């Protein structure tokens, strides 16, 4: 992931430039490879680069052939080769960056440009001829993005990848809505992403096709292997990450058949997921795909991840952390996450620690399994859904809020160390398929466990001579939330520590400190304290606290769901 910061119509942009560069420096962890900036009229765009594609020529901000358009982007555009080809010889590109196509999509299609993009992105584009800024975010909000204002400068607008760039200069900040584009000429933000499933009241009735589910997810993984740097997969041992790893292993292995692959040295000059003709292809950098997991010693996920790695033949790195190491990292985790949500902090801490280990190996991009539980109703509380309409409504709500929860975790936990996470389950085409069939098929019960659809799509037991994707006990393993799967002692330690550091007297007065969104547990109180110590009050409105529907519990842990308790008590007996 890269980092971007921009300011439009600043009353003294030259005087503000040193401050802008310092604010951009605050997110240099997102892009440690290079820094750039462009100032034009009353607008400044800055960029901190993590080079993944076009590494030799993709420094940003990017400019058009006549230098009238300036662009700063955080993200990856998977269909950039197709877009370039569609222009023919009309434009002269300056770089090999996948993001440069946005300049000319804007020139051709104005604010309709984001509709043509297939990828994850946040961008700010400045049109100097019209003194106009447009800013957009990918459909689901995989990349983090914020917008801010200062009441003393009513005509000025700010944008950044993280809050820490904005709160020193903005007294109003919002999380930029996913799937939207902002236009400074109209001062309006409009939704460009209009999938068939957006309105939860439109409950789909299409029949389920398991073959399409499988093929579309495989295609999604293939796209996300577009890279010119070492990559790997996050492997928790759960269903979602294990499937992504399995598909990636197959695609990496298939890459040896692509022309240009040097089997002796295990490398290739051009690693892409989509070729110039629009065909999906992959090539590999290593003989074996690297996979990574983390947990407390003997954790459920660590054991399962090793089993999956052995089955797939990945070069696996199974790291452990101590409870004290996790506790010591909490303040830094909250600094990078910019949230006080209990579930996000619990799960992000081991992911944050793992990301540092991965980056130390020289890996710059990883595939991850976020989004599946929201799409397929994989969280254990979905057992309590009263009917398919309510089930579907909840999946839509969860997908729409991913940018405030799991996408935020995946993006910022990895970006803290200059690592990029890509999430195949949130591919536009896959979402259209996975959210578009009768949700009765996703319902839990009558012999079906959570995410039955996804499991069945990749179950090859009835296909003669088919190579299995995963061991049966992994493919049909019950859901563990990541913060539970790394080891139950982790959550217990967080609760116990919070009980010691937050007094009963202070907890009783929480309503006096926070008039709205007051914490309902001592653990939540503790996180909110650490958040408030690092971020002023205008940042709190960007936070959403994760809570399960159809449940009265205050603890969002999957382990606290009665279904989990019943399942494991029966297994132990």
pLDDT in tens, 355-370: 999 999 999 999 999 9
Q: What is the DSSP string of 132-197?
A: EEEEEE-SS--S--EEEEETTEEEEEEEESSHHHHTTT-SEEEEPPTTEEEETTTTEEEE----TT
Closest CA to 19 of 223, 168, 153: 168
pLDDT surpassing 70 at residue 223 = yes
Which 8-state DSSP code applies to residue 89?
T
According to the annotation, is 368 in a ligand binding site?
yes
| Cα 506-509-512 angle, rounded to 5 deg | 130
CATH code 3.40.50.620 region(s) in the chain? 210-572
Residue 560 is predicted with a pLDDT of: 54
According to the annotation, is 504 in a ligand binding site?
no
pLDDT surpassing 90 at residue 284 = no
What CATH number belongs to 3-191?
3.60.20.10
pLDDT surpassing 90 at residue 480 = no
According to the annotation, is 372 in a ligand binding site?
no
Placement of tokens 């997110």 in the chain: 27
d(CA 186, CA 340): 34
User: Structure pTM?
Assistant: 0.93
pLDDT in tens, 450-463: 999 999 999 999 99
According to the annotation, is 234 in a ligand binding site?
yes
Is CATH 3.20.20.70 what the domain over 210-572 is classified as, yes or no?
no
Does 2 participate in catalysis according to the annotation? yes
Closest CA to 48 of 418, 539, 420, 534: 418
- As a whole number, the mean pLDDT across the chain is 91
Out of 2, 7, 99, 407, pick the active-site residue: 2
pLDDT in tens, 165-217: 999 999 999 999 999 999 999 999 999 999 999 999 999 999 999 999 999 99
The pLDDT > 90 percentage for the chain reads 82
CATH code 3.60.20.10 region(s) in the chain? 3-191
């Amino acid at each position: 992931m890269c980092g971007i910061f921009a300011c439009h119509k600043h009353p003294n942009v030259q005087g503000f430039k040193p401050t802008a560069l310092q604010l951009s420096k605050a997110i240099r962890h997102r892009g440690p490879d290079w820094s750039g900036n462009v100032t034009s009229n009353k607008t400044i765009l800055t960029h901190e680069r993590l080079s993944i594609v076009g590494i030799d020529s993709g420094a940003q901000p990017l400019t058009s052939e006549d230098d009238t358009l300036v662009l700063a982007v955080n993200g990856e555009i998977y269909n950039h080769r197709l877009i370039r080809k569609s222009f023919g010889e009309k434009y002269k590109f300056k770089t090999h960056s996948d993001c440069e196509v946005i300049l000319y999509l804007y020139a051709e299609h104005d604010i309709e440009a984001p509709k043509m993009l297939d990828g994850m992105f946040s961008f700010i584009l400045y049109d100097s001829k019209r003194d106009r800024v447009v800013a957009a975010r990918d459909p689901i909000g995989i990349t983090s993005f914020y917008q801010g204002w200062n009441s003393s400068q009513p005509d000025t607008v700010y944008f950044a990848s993280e809050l820490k760039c904005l709160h020193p200069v903005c007294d109003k900040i919002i999380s930029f809505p996913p799937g939207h584009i902002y236009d400074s000429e109209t001062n309006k933000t409009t939704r460009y992403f209009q999938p068939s499933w957006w309105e939860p009241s439109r409950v789909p009735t299409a029949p389920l096709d398991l073959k399409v589910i499988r093929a579309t997810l495989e295609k999604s993984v293939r796209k996300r292997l577009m890279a010119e740097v070492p990559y790997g997969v996050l492997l928790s041992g759960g269903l979602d990450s294990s499937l992504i790893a399995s598909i990636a292993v197959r695609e990496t292995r298939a890459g040896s058949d692509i022309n240009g692959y040097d089997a002796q040295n295990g490398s290739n000059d051009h690693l892409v997921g989509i070729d110039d003709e629009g065909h999906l292809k992959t090539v590999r950098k290593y003989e074996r795909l690297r996979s990574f997991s983390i947990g407390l010693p003997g954790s459920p996920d660590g054991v399962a991840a090793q089993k999956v790695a052995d089955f797939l033949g990945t070069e696996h790195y199974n790291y452990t952390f101590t409870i004290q190491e996790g506790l010591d990292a909490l303040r830094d985790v909250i600094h990078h996450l910019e949230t006080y949500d209990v579930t996000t902090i619990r799960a992000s801490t081991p992911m944050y620690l793992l990301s540092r280990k991965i980056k130390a190996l020289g890996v710059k991009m990883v595939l991850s399994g976020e989004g599946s539980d929201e799409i397929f109703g994989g969280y254990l509380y979905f057992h309590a859904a009263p009917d398919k309409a309510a089930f579907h409504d909840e999946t839509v709500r969860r997908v729409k809020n991913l940018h405030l929860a799991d996408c935020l975790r995946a993006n910022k936990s990895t970006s803290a160390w200059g690592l990029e996470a890509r999430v195949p389950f949130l591919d536009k085409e896959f979402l259209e398929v996975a959210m578009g069939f009768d949700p009765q098929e996703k319902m839990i019960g009558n012999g079906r466990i959570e995410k039955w659809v996804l499991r069945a799509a990749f179950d090859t037991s009835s296909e003669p001579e088919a190579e299995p994707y995963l061991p049966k006990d992994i493919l049909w393993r019950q859901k563990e939330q990541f913060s539970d799967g790394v080891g139950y002692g982790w959550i217990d330690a967080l609760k116990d520590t919070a009980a010691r550091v937050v007094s009963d007297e202070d907890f009783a007065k929480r309503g006096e400190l926070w008039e709205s969104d007051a914490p309902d547990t001592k653990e939540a109180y503790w996180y909110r304290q650490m958040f408030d110590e690092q971020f002023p009050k205008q940042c709190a409105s960007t936070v959403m606290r994760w809570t399960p529907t159809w449940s009265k519990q205050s603890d969002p842990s999957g382990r606290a769901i009665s279904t989990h308790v019943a399942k494991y008590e029966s297994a132990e007996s």
